[in-house]
Amino acid sequence: MAVTDLSPNYAQSRLLKHGPASSRSPASYANRFVDLRCGRRPRVCCSLAPDQVKAPPAPVTNGTASKTECYGVFCVTYDLKAEEETKSWKRMINVAVSGAAGMISNHLLFKLASGEVFGPDQPIALKLLGSEKSFQAVEGVAMELEDSLYPLLREVSIGIDPYEVFQDAEWALLIGAKPRGPGMERADLLDINGQIFAEQGRALNAVASRNVKVIVVGNPCNTNALICLKNAPNIPAKNFHALTRLDENRAKCQLALKAGVFYDKVSNVTIWGNHSTTQVPDFLNAKIDGKPVKEVINDTKWLEEEFTERVQKRGGELIKKWGRSSAASTAVSIVDAIKSLVNPTPKGDWFSSGVYTNGNPYGISEDIVFSMPCRSEGNGDYELVPDVIFDDFLRERMKKTEAELLAERRCVGHLTGEGNAYCDLPEDTMLPGEQ
């Protein structure tokens, strides 16, 4: 329950950041759901689980409402267990999201809460990870989620400590990361964000569900996913994904436009390798209306040059037009990635995800996270697709993106337990969305 437990000293220190004590009293700040019982750092607990329900507050006496320490619509005072017995809902799942105050999350969280992602009968608890700088903004996100009145959203909690926020998480969507600034070397970005994902990996290893599914979105996402899984040895490495679904969606869009068909006619599209401009959108195995792409689009030069480059650089083109990197389409692709794991893959089709390469059937180096074609039975797990074909063009491009990922792994050796870092990146390739 969202019970406020503010010490006078802490309340006063927080109030100094929000205005004079006369304008914001400790009582008014209490209504912002801060709960210090969660640990040494402030954490917002906007809800309670079904087994934590307490009896309704005492009735009004002497014409005065009884005092209650319950704030927010998620702090229910009715018998939630009795209500659940009347619903054909599944057991509530815990979904943790980092970077919760960012633009991607602003689009994603409401899709999660609505039932669009996990289904109309799946109650959900959202655990939102922010930073000290973004903490107040994440409070605002929690307020908007409250005001949206989603029936399936049973609990919202926020905090800045991953060891608290990731507690019992069954899905972890790791979105928050530092973008590369002007003049920043790619190796520097790998080190800065790598430290973030090493810490989050350790937190997941310590407190999350042993079968938590992790989708890494923060760039460079392939190597960040590798760092994260290396720091979570008690969680199956197979459970970690780097998001390349947006690249797949972009490839499908371009093929559909070129062929003059609707995008749902495009299938079997694979993004191989790294989520950078070395990625390889595979048109060789892709199909349009069940036919090989090369039989429908009889323009090999366009496929090898314009199509490939357009997908690789789509994010950069968007930021030039829009002034910022993609957010809404990234959120949609996260939804697509999750749905591909919780729903059976259509017969004969597959989807792309950056996954751990150990045991892969394609001859790709082991011990990296590489985007490959996957199928799922809808249980959150996946298998790699064995029946794909290769030609010289595809193999040559795959070697380039593989070399980049191997070099990135050496750059972050100090974060993956391999020893000292040694950076020999073949070239300073850009991430999709960078200028």
Longest CA–CA separation in the chain, Å = 85
> Six-digit token pair at 258?
């070129």
Of 18, 241, 275, 414, catalytic: 275
When computed from its CA atoms, the radius of gyration of the chain, rounded to whole angstroms, is 24
Q: Is 215 exposed, middle or buried (0-12, 13-18, 19+ CB in 10 A)?
A: buried
Identify the three-state secondary structure at position 372: strand
User: What is the rounded end-to-end Cα distance, in angstroms, of the chain?
Assistant: 46
Query: Hey, what amino acid is at 126?
Result: L
The answer to whether 364 and 389 are in contact (CB under 8 A) is no
Give CA torsion, residues 408, 414, 420, 425, to 10 deg: 10
Residues in the chain: 435
Instruction: Give the span between the Cα atoms of 243 and 338, in whole angstroms.
Output: 10
Alpha helices in 242-384 (DSSP H): 245-259, 293-296, 300-301, 308-322, 328-342
Q: Is 181 exposed, middle or buried (0-12, 13-18, 19+ CB in 10 A)?
A: exposed
Has 414 been annotated as catalytic? no
Query: Hey, what amino acid is at 127?
Result: K
- CA distances for 433 relative to 18, 37, 249, angstroms: 35, 40, 15
> Six-digit token pair at 110?
């409401």
Burial of 304-326, coded b for 16+ CB within 10 Å and e otherwise, reads: eeebbebbbebbbebbeeeeebb
Q: How many helices (H) and strands (E) does the chain have?
A: 15, 16
Q: What residues are annotated to the active site?
A: 275
